[in-house]
A and B are shown apart, each in its own frame.
Chain A
């Protein structure tokens, strides 16, 4: 586990070891910590805009003693069959999940961000964070241990979640990620017991899924 202060210090240290300035988007627990939803996370999930940027980042963390780990214990087979799988690097308790351009087929837009965190060291590391709706959707599709708990945490702290936006974003990506609507619906059904989600959002999912089939 890594807490907010450790994460800030670690990213500042990584910036000291970079060979070039790079930008990435934080998703998952890291973004949740940046946005104040939680105070500690198991892994630091970052999405880079290019393979080159990810390689520059990997080179820096390797200098800090991080080594590559297998994906098999973290992600299920459905996700591992995707073309663009992340690379996992860990050192002790801390782990980086490093994606390029998309998260299991879910494109990340580098222009839609709500926070910008700049770490100015020898080079510059810029980390953007996405809005809460996208965070929830990404949590629903990464489907790792604790991802569902994280969605619950966001919902317990945020009363104004735009479910229409979440469903629309998922429908947009249905052709690229065949299981996205099924996973989202499964999560929404679980969440319905704890929070109010209007029936119309479920109907929109069912309609889009039927149309796609």
Chain B
């Protein structure tokens, strides 16, 4: 997939059209999932153009990069249909399993709202000891929520 990055001015210059026409064209391409926009506000908008339609991901890496201070480079594109929760992301982080991912996953313990959901999922995937181990590690390095005692046993 060929990827090119533009600002609205560089895109207009390359296409030989006015700024307004460039904005209209980018808007149409965006509707076809061929453009992704970043920036806005004080930052200039950067438009990433794809040759293939690119749906916006909404999975593990999007959630973890919202909460973890050290951002992760996605190893795969993750799309979720349905409710993707922090608890599910912790399990996915443990399954991916490399040290950077685990370090980032620790930051999700601050945002757990349903410990039962987390442990139900962990039990289903046989990852209960790993969840407890990661939680204990997280408690040492970041300020995170306290897990109810019953799950630590």
Report A's interface with B, CB cutoff 8 A: 8, 11-12, 15, 21, 35-37, 113-121, 157-159
**Is there an interface contact between A115 and B53, defined as CB atoms closer than 8 Å?**
no
Q: In the complex, which residues of chain A have a beta carbon less than 8 angstroms from the beta carbon of B1?
A: 36, 157-158
Chain A binder among B39-47, B62-70, B73-81: B73-81
Which of A15, A113, A116, A119 lies at the interface centre, i.e. has the most chain B CB atoms within 10 A of its CB? A116
Q: How many residues of chain B have a CB within 8 Å of chain A?
A: 20
**Is there an interface contact between A120 and B84, defined as CB atoms closer than 8 Å?**
yes
Q: What 1/0 flags go to B1-43 for Cβ under 8 Å of A?
A: 1100000000000000000000000000000010000000000
**Is there an interface contact between A118 and B80, defined as CB atoms closer than 8 Å?**
yes
**Is there an interface contact between A116 and B79, defined as CB atoms closer than 8 Å?**
yes
CA distance A11 to B77 in the complex (A): 18
Beta-carbon nearest neighbor of A37 in chain B: B52
CA distance A114 to B51 in the complex (A): 17
CA distance A35 to B50 in the complex (A): 12
Additional A-B contact list (6), CB under 8 Å, known A116-B77, A117-B80: A12-B81, A15-B81, A36-B54, A116-B78, A120-B84, A121-B82
B87 → chain A closest CB, angstroms:
12
**Is there an interface contact between B52 and A118, defined as CB atoms closer than 8 Å?**
no
Report B's interface with A, CB cutoff 8 A: 1-2, 33, 50-55, 59, 76-84, 124
With beta carbons under 8 angstroms apart, the residue of A15, A118, A158 that contacts B59 is A118
CA distance A120 to B91 in the complex (A): 15
**Is there an interface contact between B80 and A21, defined as CB atoms closer than 8 Å?**
no
Known: A158-B1, A159-B2. A118 touches B51 (CB 8 A): no
**Is there an interface contact between B52 and A120, defined as CB atoms closer than 8 Å?**
no
**Is there an interface contact between A118 and B77, defined as CB atoms closer than 8 Å?**
no
A39 → chain B closest CB, angstroms:
9
B62 → chain A closest CB, angstroms:
12
Beta-carbon nearest neighbor of B33 in chain A: A36
Q: In the complex, which residues of chain B have a beta carbon less than 8 angstroms from the beta carbon of A15?
A: 81-82
CA distance A174 to B51 in the complex (A): 34
Q: In the complex, which residues of chain B have a beta carbon less than 8 angstroms from the beta carbon of A114?
A: 76-77
A2 → chain B closest CB, angstroms:
16
Which of A8, A15, A115 lies at the interface centre, i.e. has the most chain B CB atoms within 10 A of its CB? A115
A34 → chain B closest CB, angstroms:
8
B37 → chain A closest CB, angstroms:
18
Beta-carbon nearest neighbor of B60 in chain A: A116
Known: A35-B52, A116-B59, A116-B76. A21 touches B124 (CB 8 A): yes
CA distance A35 to B59 in the complex (A): 16
With beta carbons under 8 angstroms apart, the residue of A21, A116, A120, A159 that contacts B82 is A120
